[in-house]
Structure 1
Amino acid sequence: MNRLIQSGLMFGNMFHVVSPALVERYNRALKHLTGKTTQLTDFHIDISGYSPEIGDELDDDLYLNQNGVNRQFILLSTRQKSAPLLNAKFSTSRSILRHFIDANETQLFALTAKDAVAGELVNSVFSVSDPAQLFEIRKIRIEADTTQGTVKDAEKLARLVDRFKETEDGWYDDVLIAEMIALAKKTGDVVRNPVRLKQMEFVQDNFFTAHFGGIYIFRAVEHPAAICVGDKPDDLPIKYVFDLNDRNRIAKFFDFNGLVEPIVKARGIDAAAILRQKMDFIVVDVAQEAGIDLAGATRRDIRVIARQFATKLPPEWHALNALVQWAEGDGPWPRIGSDHPAYFYTLRAADHADKDLVNMLLAELTRKDIRQLFICHKELFYSLYRGWSDTKRSYVVDFLTREYQVDKAGARKALFGHDAPMKEPETTPEEIIQRVGPWGAVRR
C-alpha cells in the first residue's frame, strides 16, 4: 500500500497534527470522548479526527467508532473538511460531517482557535448485533461542544442575559450578575459574538453499511429493497432482499426506481471514450493473468495487448466494443441483457439525490473498472488492490496519478456529471408580435 500512499491515492488530504498545542488539544478531546490519550507527537487525522497512527498505537481502528455506530469526532481545524473518512461503516457519515462543518464554519473556526471541538453522530441504536437493527436507524443528530463546554456555557449565559433583561430588578440580583460574569470570562461576549452551533439532523433512508459483509439499503424509493454483498441475512424488515448474484432482479430494481441511465444515452459526456477506457481496464485484467509487464503501459500498448489476446478477452470486452461501434455509427445496436456480464458496465447513476450511492453499487457490480472503483468505493478498491499482481498495481497507480489526480473535479464531471435538461426557449411578447403581428396570426 506504500505505493498508493506515496502517490497520494491513499490517506490523501489528511490533516497533519504536529504542533504541541494541537496535540494537547487532541489529547484533551480524546480523553473526553474515550478516556484514552496518545503518546504520539506527530500524526495525521481524517475529517472525523481519526488517526491511523493512533489506531495502530492503541491497537484499535475503531477507537472513535465503537461498535461501528454513533461515530465520534474531534475537530482541530475546519480544514479537516477536505480530508477523507477512514474506516467508514456508513456511506452517509462523511457527507454529514462535511455538511456540519460547512454550516458552522465561522463558529467552528472561532472555537478551534482555542480548543478542540468533540462530538458524536447520534442515532437511535448503540450496536447492530442483528442486521434488522440497521432498519431502526432513521435519523442522525449531531451533538458537539468544545472540551471545556464553551457552547453549553454560552447557551446558559445567553439564557441568563435574557433573564436579566426581562427581570425588572435584574440590576439588583447580585447572584445572577456574578454568575453571568463568571460565564462571560469563559465564553466572551455572547451578545456581540454569539457562540452557537446549529442543531442539525439528517434523515438516513438510503445508505450503504459495511456491517454484515456490506448491505445497500434503499428505503426512500418507490420499490424498496436491500442488496447484500455477502450472504442474505434472514428476516430483514424489507420486502425485497437481493445479493450480487441476483443480476436480473437488481437490474429491474434499478429500472423500476429510475436509478440508472445508459452511458450511451447520457447527455454531455463522451460515451465512446468512457466505454473504451472500461475496455482497457478489462484488457489489463487479462494481461495480469498472462503475467505481462504493464509498467508505463500507454493506451496504444493496451490495444496491442488486446490484439494479441483477442481470443482470451472476456464477453464484457466484446459487448462494450459492439456498443462503442454503435455509438460511433459503425455498427448495429447490440442487445446486452441484464444477465450479460457487461450489462452494468453500460450504466451510470441517473440524476437524483442518491446518485453517489448508486454509482457505489455499480462499482461493486463492475469490479474490473478500476477508475469507478477508486472514485466511488475506495474501501473496496483498497481491498482488491491487495490481491492484484505487482504489475497491475503499477499500472493502476500510474493511470490514476496521470489521468485522475491531476483534475479530480473534471474527471468526476466527465464521468458522472449531469447537464441541465434542455428547456424550450422563452418567447417574449415582442417576438410574438414580430412573428404574427399585433392581432395574431392571419387565418387563410
Structure 2
Amino acid sequence: MHRLIARGLMFGNLVRVDSPVWVERYNRALKALTGRTTEQTEFHIDISGFSPEIGDEFGDPLYLNQAGVNRQFILLTTRQRAAPLLNAKFSTSRAILRQFIDANERELFALTARDAVAGELINSVYRADTAAKLFDIRQITIEADTTAGTVATADKLGTLIDRFKREEDAWYDDVLIGEMIGLAKQTGDLTRNPVRLGKMTFAQENFWTALFGGLYIFRSVPHPAAITAGDKAALGPLPIAETYALKERNEIARFLKINGLAEPIVEARGVDAAAILHQKMDFIVAELAAVMGESLQGATRRDLRAMGRRYAQHLPAEWQGLSALARWAEAGGPWPMIDSEHPAYFYTLRAARGPEASLVNQLLAELTPLDIRQLFICHKEAFYRAYAGWPEAKKSYVADFLAGEYLVDKAGTRDALFGHEAPMAEPTPAVGPWSTGRKDTHQGFDVVDAVGPWGAVRRL
C-alpha cells in the first residue's frame, strides 16, 4: 500500500497530532472513553479521532468502535471535519460526524481551544451478533462533552441563571450566587463563548455496513430490500421483503429499476457519456495488459488503445459491451443488446438523482470492480481489498492515474461522473438502447419489451 500512502490516496488528509498539549488532551479523552492511554508522542487521527498508529499499538483497529456498532469520537480541532473516516463500518458515520462538526463549529472551536471533546454515535444496538439486529438501528444520536464536563457544567449554569432571573428573591440567595460564580469559573463567559452542544439525531433508514461480509439495507424505498456481498444463507431470516446476493444480477437490476434508483449514463443530462464509457474501457484494458505482463509505467490513453488492439481477441465482454455502446453514443451506430445478465450492464449505469445516490453509486461500484475510479471514489474499503491482490503493474498504473487525474480535481471529477442537473419539466424520450417507448420499425418489435429503460431485465 506504500504507493497509495505516498500519493495521498490512503490515509490522506489525516490530522497530525505532535504537540504535547494535544497528546495530553487526547489521552484524557481516550482514558474517559476506553480506559486506556497511548504511549505515542506523534500520530495521526481521522475525523473520529481514530489513529492507525494507536490502533497498531493496541492491536485493536476498533478501539474507538466497540463491536463495530458503537462509534466513539475524539475531537481536538474542527479541522478534523476534512479528514476521512478509517475502518468505517457504516456508510453514514462520516456524514453524521461532518454534520455535527459543521452545526456546532463555533461551540467546538471554543471548546477545543481548551480541551478535547469526546462523544459517541449512540444507537439502540450494542452488539450486532445477528444480521437481523441491524434492522433495529433506526436512528443515531450524538452526545458529546469535554473531558472536564464543560458542556454539562454550562447546562447546569444555564439552569441556575434561568432560576436567578425567575425568582424574585434570587438577589439575596448567597448560595445560588456562589454556585453560579463557581460554575462560571469553569465555563467562562457563556455570552461570548457558547459551549452548548445540541443533541443531534439522524435517521438511519438506508445504509451500508461492513458487518456480515458487507450488507446494503434499503428500507425507505417503495420496494425495500437488502443486498449482501457475503453469504446470503448465513444472514438468516431478515425483517425485510427481499434479500439478494451480488451475484443475483437480474434481481438487483429489477430492484434498481422499480425504485427509480439508477439511470443509464447515456441518458444522464450534463455528462459526456462517451468520454465516461471510454475511460471505463481503458481501465479494463489496463487490467488485461497487467495480466499479460505489460508494463503500464507512464501509460497514456494512446498506449492503452495500442494494447487494446494488441490483445483484442482477449478483451472481456465488459469491454465489448461498453465499446458497442460508445459507438452508438458517438456515431449513431447500431444499438447493442445489453441486458442485466450482460457483464457490461452495471457499468452503463449511475445513481439517479435523490437522497440515496451515494449509497447506490457505492453498490454499483461493488458490482463493477474493473472501474477502478468509481471503486476508489465510492467504496474505498472494497478498493483497498481489491488493490492488495492486483499485479504490480496495475497497482502502479492505478496509483499514478488516481493521483494525476483524480486528486488534482476531486470535486470536478465527482461532478462529471455523478452530478445531476435540475430535472426538466418534460424529459425528452431518448432514442436508442434505453428508449422509453419507440417502435423500432427496422427490427419489428418494441425496444422497451426487449431492453426496457435500463436495459433488459428478465421478468421474474
Shared fold per TM-score greater than 0.5? yes
Do 1:281 and 1:369's aligned partners in 2 also have CA atoms closer than 8 Å? Answer: yes
Report the counterpart of residue 88 of structure 1 in structure 2.
88
Report the counterpart of residue 178 of structure 2 in structure 1.
178
Amino acid at match of 2:32: H
Do 1:158 and 1:191's aligned partners in 2 also have CA atoms closer than 8 Å? Answer: no
Deviation at 1:191, TM superposition (A): 4.2
Report the counterpart of residue 316 of structure 1 in structure 2.
318
Deviation at 1:198, TM superposition (A): 1.6
Report the counterpart of residue 390 of structure 2 in structure 1.
388
Task: Give the Cα–Cα distance (whole angstroms) in 2 for the partners of residues 392 and 245 of structure 1.
Answer: 25
Report the counterpart of residue 268 of structure 2 in structure 1.
266
Do 2:110 and 2:193's aligned partners in 1 also have CA atoms closer than 8 Å? Answer: no
Report the counterpart of residue 400 of structure 1 in structure 2.
402
Q: Which runs of 5+ in 1 are unaligned?
A: 425-444
Deviation at 1:177, TM superposition (A): 1.0
Deviation at 1:192, TM superposition (A): 4.8
Partner secondary structure for residue 128 of structure 2: coil
Partner secondary structure for residue 63 of structure 1: coil
Report the counterpart of residue 20 of structure 2 in structure 1.
20
Deviation at 1:173, TM superposition (A): 1.1
Deviation at 1:206, TM superposition (A): 0.3
Do 2:110 and 2:194's aligned partners in 1 also have CA atoms closer than 8 Å? Answer: no
Partner secondary structure for residue 165 of structure 2: helix
Deviation at 1:258, TM superposition (A): 0.2
Partner secondary structure for residue 359 of structure 2: helix
Amino acid at match of 2:21: A
Say if 2:148 is the partner of 1:134.
no
Report the counterpart of residue 350 of structure 1 in structure 2.
352
Query: How do 1:424-435 and structure 2 match up within 5 A?
Result: none
Partner secondary structure for residue 8 of structure 2: coil
Partner secondary structure for residue 194 of structure 1: coil
Q: Of residues 358, 361, 373 in structure 2, which corresponds to 1:359?
A: 361
Deviation string 1:155-211 (CA, Å, 9 cap, x unpaired) is: 000000110111111111111111111100000122454321122000000000000
Task: Give the Cα–Cα distance (whole angstroms) in 2 for the partners of residues 117 and 138 of structure 1.
Answer: 25
Task: Give the Cα–Cα distance (whole angstroms) in 2 for the partners of residues 230 and 347 of structure 1.
Answer: 23
Query: How do 1:66-215 and structure 2 match up within 5 A?
Result: 66-215=66-215
Report the counterpart of residue 289 of structure 1 in structure 2.
291
Deviation string 1:370-396 (CA, Å, 9 cap, x unpaired) is: 000000000110111000011000000
Task: Give the Cα–Cα distance (whole angstroms) in 1 for the partners of residues 198 and 377 of structure 2.
Answer: 31
State the TM-score, normalized to the length of structure 1.
Answer: 0.94
Report the counterpart of residue 30 of structure 1 in structure 2.
30
Task: Give the Cα–Cα distance (whole angstroms) in 2 for the partners of residues 330 and 415 of structure 1.
Answer: 22
Do 2:107 and 2:193's aligned partners in 1 also have CA atoms closer than 8 Å? Answer: no
Task: Give the Cα–Cα distance (whole angstroms) in 2 for the partners of residues 304 and 330 of structure 1.
Answer: 24
Do 1:157 and 1:190's aligned partners in 2 also have CA atoms closer than 8 Å? Answer: no
Partner secondary structure for residue 50 of structure 1: coil
Deviation string 1:67-88 (CA, Å, 9 cap, x unpaired) is: 0012000000000000000000
Amino acid at match of 1:363: A
Stretch of structure 1 that moved more, 148-157 or 330-339: 330-339
Partner secondary structure for residue 70 of structure 2: coil
Deviation string 1:84-122 (CA, Å, 9 cap, x unpaired) is: 000000000000000000000010001000000000000
Structure 1 pair 39–332 and aligned structure 2 pair: CA distance change class (3 A) = same
Task: Give the Cα–Cα distance (whole angstroms) in 1 for the partners of residues 287 and 14 of structure 2.
Answer: 31
Report the counterpart of residue 257 of structure 2 in structure 1.
255
Deviation string 1:341-399 (CA, Å, 9 cap, x unpaired) is: 00000000000001000000000000000000000000110111000011000000111
Task: Give the Cα–Cα distance (whole angstroms) in 1 for the partners of residues 192 and 177 of structure 2.
Answer: 18
Report the counterpart of residue 298 of structure 1 in structure 2.
300
Structure 1 pair 194–401 and aligned structure 2 pair: CA distance change class (3 A) = closer
Stretch of structure 1 that moved more, 257-266 or 415-424: 415-424
Do 1:140 and 1:202's aligned partners in 2 also have CA atoms closer than 8 Å? Answer: yes
Stretch of structure 1 that moved more, 164-173 or 115-124: 164-173
Task: Give the Cα–Cα distance (whole angstroms) in 2 for the partners of residues 342 and 35 of structure 1.
Answer: 51
Q: Aligned residues, how many?
A: 424
Do 1:367 and 1:373's aligned partners in 2 also have CA atoms closer than 8 Å? Answer: yes
Task: Give the Cα–Cα distance (whole angstroms) in 2 for the partners of residues 164 and 115 of structure 1.
Answer: 29
Amino acid at match of 1:137: I
Report the counterpart of residue 280 of structure 2 in structure 1.
278
Task: Give the Cα–Cα distance (whole angstroms) in 2 for the partners of residues 192 and 171 of structure 1.
Answer: 24
Deviation string 1:285-330 (CA, Å, 9 cap, x unpaired) is: 1112111111111100100010011110011111100100010124
Task: Give the Cα–Cα distance (whole angstroms) in 2 for the partners of residues 216 and 356 of structure 1.
Answer: 12
Query: How do 1:317-336 and structure 2 match up within 5 A?
Result: 317-336=319-338
Task: Give the Cα–Cα distance (whole angstroms) in 1 for the partners of residues 121 and 6 of structure 2.
Answer: 32
Please tell me the root mean square deviation across aligned C-alpha atoms, in Å.
Answer: 0.9
Task: Give the Cα–Cα distance (whole angstroms) in 2 for the partners of residues 422 and 65 of structure 1.
Answer: 44
Partner secondary structure for residue 145 of structure 2: strand
Deviation at 1:32, TM superposition (A): 0.6
Identity %: 68
Partner secondary structure for residue 141 of structure 1: strand
Task: Give the Cα–Cα distance (whole angstroms) in 2 for the partners of residues 64 and 194 of structure 1.
Answer: 28
Partner secondary structure for residue 244 of structure 2: strand
Partner secondary structure for residue 68 of structure 1: coil
Partner secondary structure for residue 421 of structure 2: coil
Partner secondary structure for residue 168 of structure 1: coil
Amino acid at match of 2:266: V
Partner secondary structure for residue 400 of structure 2: helix
Q: Which runs of 5+ in 2 are unaligned?
A: 427-460
Amino acid at match of 2:38: T
Task: Give the Cα–Cα distance (whole angstroms) in 1 for the partners of residues 418 and 26 of structure 2.
Answer: 37
Deviation at 1:423, TM superposition (A): 5.4
Amino acid at match of 1:337: D
Partner secondary structure for residue 217 of structure 1: strand
Partner secondary structure for residue 71 of structure 1: strand
Task: Give the Cα–Cα distance (whole angstroms) in 2 for the partners of residues 190 and 306 of structure 1.
Answer: 67
Do 2:284 and 2:319's aligned partners in 1 also have CA atoms closer than 8 Å? Answer: yes
Partner secondary structure for residue 286 of structure 2: helix
